[in-house]
Structure 1
Amino acid sequence: MTTWFTAADCDLDDFRAVCEQKTELSDYPHAADVVDNVLIYPGSLPDTREIQGELIRALRDGPGIVVFTGAFEPEVVDRATAVFASIIEEQKASGVRGGDHFAKPGANDRVWGALDKFALRDPAAFAAYYDNATLALICRAWLGLGYQVTSQVNVVNPGGQAQVAHRDYHLGFMSQEQALRYPAHIHALSPVLTLQGAVAHVDMPIETGPTLYLPHSQKYPAGYIAFHQPEFTSYFNEHHVQLPLKKGDAAFFNPALFHGAGTNRSSDVRRMANLLQVSSGFGRAMETVDRAAVVRALYPVLRDFGGSVENVIAASAEGYAFPTNLDRDQPIDGLAPPTQADLVRRAVAEKWEASRFEEALRSYETAHTG
């Protein structure tokens, strides 16, 4: 069994063999149809172990994506759309230019942290929207209990270009160099830590650029390395599928599935989707640690430390960029902003004065609070 992936492990022929499998409707008795290898389900299914098991198989061993037709009532979607549109207009009026993980900053309209903004602005509309049995069913199936919902609204305007094909959070938000530092079993773990979803807030015919998918690609073990390589991008561009959606339809997919938003070739449709990223409740440490206080206390020692500064930083500082407030800490210069550990590392290397380190640490803390 492979313990570490390398770029040499990414073989396009092997990838092709995985992606060119066929989705058989007979294997999924509760599905209504298969379209372009994607399973289509009705938006009202009972929450049973049998159906949960089928959805797990679909996301893990099958095409990696399911679409629920009519999952959200159009009237409920329209109430949420009005809230999101008002937030976007306020952002524009204030000069906010949204960054994006996999597209040019400013090309699309984004609402980062849309979950709490929605709840605070219109709690009744929020409750109506998230009182959704389909969402609860797929989240419980893939993640179990205690899952955590986050939401980012994405509007791809007419002329907005397609995203680069990618996998998603966690390892999908890393460069190839970063992903190579994680052992193979972490590559296998990452897809079961989150669930990706998209709720259509307008009708999305093909010309508006609904999301591009490569069914079955989530099963390629080295995919978090492969999606960075041009030959895999080319294969995706030639073989992806794209399904039109109606307002209220919802797609959910394994975060390891190769995908990307499509180009909006329409002249007048602002394609709005509520992108749901749902995380496992297990993605947390056992104890809370005031890491800012820890590194503040350690910094005078680390500036002239005779041992391994890196080992001490790893044991004390926050080494992961997320969660963060993406309004204040946008991914403009890369897939993820610098970590607290990066800040300490730089300060020690450049021998900052304590006052400069304190100011930078406070800025970091502000960016990582709600």
Structure 2
Amino acid sequence: MSVASAPGRAWLSEQDCDLDSLRALVARTTGLADYPGASSVESNVLVYDGERLRSARDRRAVRAELVRALSDGPGIVVVRGAFPEPEVVDRVTAVFEALIAEQQAAGATAGDHFAAPGANDRVWNALEKTALYDPEAFADYYANEVLALLATAWLGPGYQITSQVNVVNPGGAGQTAHRDYHLGFLSDAMAAAYPAHVHRLSPVLTLQGAVAHCAMPVESGPTLYLPYSQRYEPGYLAWRRPEFQEYFAAHHVQLPLAKGDAVFFSPALFHAAGANRTTDLRRTANLLQISSAFGRAMESVDREAVANAVFPVLLRRAAAGASEEWLENVIAASAEGYPFPTNLDSDPPVAGLAPPSQADLVRRALRERWRPGRLRAELRTASERRES
């Protein structure tokens, strides 16, 4: 993946976050002639026709072009008519509305990554919930050829789809510019702990998508994008900085969408949901996060059991003066250090972008000198929160 980086740099830091470098990267014009499968360029974004993609004979050439568009190109493609049958979209929209009504009747308020809880109507794990609520509608919807084409182009076979419904109600505020999962959900300090090559790797582990379930004129706040910003290597450390937020606010683009249109983009692209300035339109999108088959360990390990077994040793060694580095190494080898995947209904990102991991819980238990029984109970409760 082509990105801006200092030659030979193994680690990135805040000192690498230079706005002029981002400006130079995004000051490009997308040429339609460079992407023969595209139908047009709008606001520097490549626009494809869904029927043309579905009928393409050379699927391999189309996939290659889409990869180039998402990596070295603007980092985003819009597919007009990606879901060409309105009744299929409407059936799934009806499921979403029923799920939201059930949540509201139960008094549940879904947390949100980049907005205050309750500001929007969210349905976490909408993929599973839709399949259980209406499997026929689920099958007709996810049989979509364009979705499969984009997913296999970026990730290859064996990909995994998750989805989250986001309804931004009239008057709903927009988001701040950000990058997405994986590194985009970590704090600056945590992101900086990963070497530079992982910053390059993170964007190719997932593909972001959004399907419009209603007409989305610009005033309803369809997503804002900064084309080519996915190529900026220090972006996971830069997106929170005020000067980058200000630049995004001044230079983003925004495209209206029709019901059934879809957008696919690199998770490293700077983007943000827009503000819904309408008085009567509930802007409804099915947000797709499609993950690589490779984001898994080779063996299944009951890390909860391992952490419980090792914790008394950690307590004894800490009392005996073991170094923080020694303790941390043992925690890393025993407890799950990453908070995902989780059930965002019962384990929501209310206190930040991610809930605590197993390792975070063990660190707290060691710091506060919990008894092993308390850690065992807390780990079990946390595990139950993560279950679907």
Please state whether the residue corresponding to 1:76 is helix, strand or coil. helix
- What is the rounded CA distance, in whole Å, between the counterparts of 1:79 and 1:29 in structure 2? 34
Is it true that 1:27 corresponds to 2:34 in the alignment? Answer: yes
Cα RMSD (Å)? 0.8
Partner residue, 2:205: 193
Residues 57-88 of structure 1: CA deviation (Å, up to 9, x unaligned) = 00000000000001112111000000000000
* TM-aligned CA deviation for residue 348 of structure 1: 1.1
> Which residue, out of 153, 156, 163, partners 1:151?
163
Q: Which residue of 1 is the match for residue 24 of structure 2? A: 17
How far apart in 2 are the matches of 1:288 and 1:220?
Answer: 35
Amino acid at match of 1:13: D
| TM-score using structure 1 length | 0.99
Among 146, 162, 172, the residue aligned to 2:184: 172
Residue 71 (str. 1) matches residue 78 (str. 2): no
Q: Indicate the residue corresponding to 2:260 in structure 1.
A: 248
The whole-number CA distance in structure 1 between the counterparts of 2:86 and 2:222 is: 18
Give distance in 1, aligned partners of 2:27 and 2:136: 45
Residue by residue over 1:116-168, the C-alpha shift from the partner in whole angstroms, topping out at 9 and shown as x without a partner, is: 00001100000000000000000000000100000000000011111110010
| Percentage identity across paired residues of the two chains | 64
- Cα offset, 1:354, TM superposition: 2.2
1:318 equivalent in structure 2:
336
Q: How does 1:223-262 map to 2 (within 5 A)?
A: 223-262=235-274
Equivalent residue number for residue 38 of structure 1: 45
Partner of residue 372, structure 2 = 354
User: What residue number does 1:276 align with?
Assistant: 288
Find the partner of 1:214 among 217, 226, 231.
Answer: 226
Give 1:11's aligned amino acid: D
Partner of 1:369: 387
The aligned length equals 370
**1:55: how far off?**
0.1
TM-score, structure 2 as length reference: 0.94
Query: Any stretches of 5+ residues in structure 2 without a counterpart?
Result: 1-7
Corresponding letter in the other structure for 2:74: P
Q: Match of 1:182, SS?
A: coil
The structural deviation recorded for 1:310 is 0.9
- The answer to whether 1:125 aligns with 2:137 is yes
Question: Unaligned regions of 5+ residues in structure 1, if any?
Answer: none
| Per-residue deviation, residues 9-56 of structure 1 (Å, max 9, x unmatched) | 111111001111110000000100000000000113136110000000
Partners of 1:151 and 1:15 in 2: CA distance: 30
Structure 1 position 198, deviation (Å) = 0.1
Task: Provide the secondary structure at the position in 1 that maps to 2:158.
Answer: coil
Distance 1:214 1:192 in 2: 18
Instruction: Report the equivalent of 1:183.
Output: 195
Spell out the pairing of 1:86-125 with structure 2 (5 A cutoff).
86-125=98-137
Provide Cα deviations, 1:267-295, integer angstroms capped at 9, x if missing partner. Answer: 00000000000000000000000001111
CA positional deviation for 1:319: 0.1
Paired AA for residue 366 in structure 1: E
Partners of 1:269 and 1:359 lie apart in 2 by 46
| Structure 1 residue 96 displacement after superposition | 0.6
Query: 4+ residue runs of structure 1 moved beyond 2 angstroms?
Result: none
Letter of the aligned partner of 2:73 in structure 1?
Answer: G
- Paired with 1:215 and 1:297, the residues of 2 have a C-alpha distance of 49
Q: Output the CA distance in 1 between the equivalents of 2:352 and 2:23.
A: 29
